[in-house]
């Protein structure tokens, strides 16, 4: 039987019912990991888990979880440990947008984005770090955005949240390195998902023009670097932010 890089590993992926999160869960499962997929909708995330089980023959479960709720997060992490005994990999992918120019942005839209994209990541990392510290191993991968590095008009809330993810990644990498836990981030640019499907053709053309590779990425492009950061080939990498943006953030 062929050995796979993530055989015996257990991964949690948040925001896993579609888009980048779904592609990440599929890739980790294909590389041998048992995968727990988290999202708000139990039906949607279980459907993806079933698809993975049928496609790879691997272990995958779907769990309803609101990453903004500490009780919901802890219940989900406890469920994963009951099912698989341990946790080796956490991919913090859950995120939302509420785009608007600052002068039109409501306080609710600011709060919603910061709560999901930053507080949710904090709650997940804290809950998973506890068992990882006890086992003195683990890999935490935070999905940020190129917008968190270079900003974008109309996305002050999203950019602030994703910039916070970068700073959080650097800090947590320093905190946990001594316990054998690596913490890295992946910063996608424009990727073909539900979020970008809503752009009109004029906006898409303008964004593509700003990308040196002259195209949007695919969810699988992000999943590939997450798989690398989850496995043994990245064992000496921590506190890094990997851009997957077609060169968009080249200064």
CATH 3.40.50.720 correct for 10-242:
yes
What number is the average pLDDT over the span 222-239? 98
pLDDT tens per residue across span 170-209: 999 999 999 999 999 999 999 998 767 767 788 888 889 9
**Which helix H or strand E contains 216, and what residues bound it?**
none
Q: For the chain, what are the domain ranges?
A: 10-242
Percentage, residues of the chain above pLDDT 70: 98
Q: What is the pTM of this model?
A: 0.95
For the CA atoms of 187, 40, 134, 53, the dihedral, rounded to the nearest 10 degrees, stands at -90
Catalytic positions are 158
Q: Where are the alpha helices (DSSP H) in the chain?
A: 19-30, 42-56, 70-84, 107-114, 120-135, 147-150, 156-176, 194-197, 201-209, 219-230
């Amino acid at each position: 039987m062929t050995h796979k890089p993530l055989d015996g590993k257990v991964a949690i992926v948040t925001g896993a019912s579609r888009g980048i999160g779904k592609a990440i869960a599929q890739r980790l499962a294909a590389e041998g990991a048992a995968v727990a997929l988290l999202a708000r909708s139990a039906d949607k995330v279980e459907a993806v888990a079933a698809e993975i089980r049928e496609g790879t023959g691997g272990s995958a479960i779907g769990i309803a979880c609101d990453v903004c709720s500490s009780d919901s997060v802890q219940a989900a992490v406890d469920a994963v440990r009951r099912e698989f005994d341990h946790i080796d990999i956490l991919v913090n992918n859950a995120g939302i947008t509420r785009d608007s120019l600052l002068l039109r942005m409501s306080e609710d839209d600011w709060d919603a984005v910061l709560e999901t994209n930053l507080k949710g990541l904090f709650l997940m990392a804290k809950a998973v770090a506890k068992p990882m510290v006890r086992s003195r191993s683990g890999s935490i991968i935070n999905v940020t955005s190129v917008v968190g590095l270079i900003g974008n008009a109309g996305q002050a809330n999203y950019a602030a949240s994703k910039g916070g993810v970068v700073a959080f990644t650097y800090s947590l990498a320093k905190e946990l390195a001594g316990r054998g836990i690596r913490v890295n981030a992946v910063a996608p640019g424009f990727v073909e998902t539900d979020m970008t499907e809503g752009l009109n053709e004029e906006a898409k053309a303008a964004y593509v023009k700003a990308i040196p590779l002259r195209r949007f990425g695919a969810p699988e492009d992000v999943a590939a670097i997450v798989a690398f950061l989850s496995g043994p080939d990245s064992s000496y990498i921590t506190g890094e932010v990997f851009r997957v943006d077609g060169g968009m953030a080249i200064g």
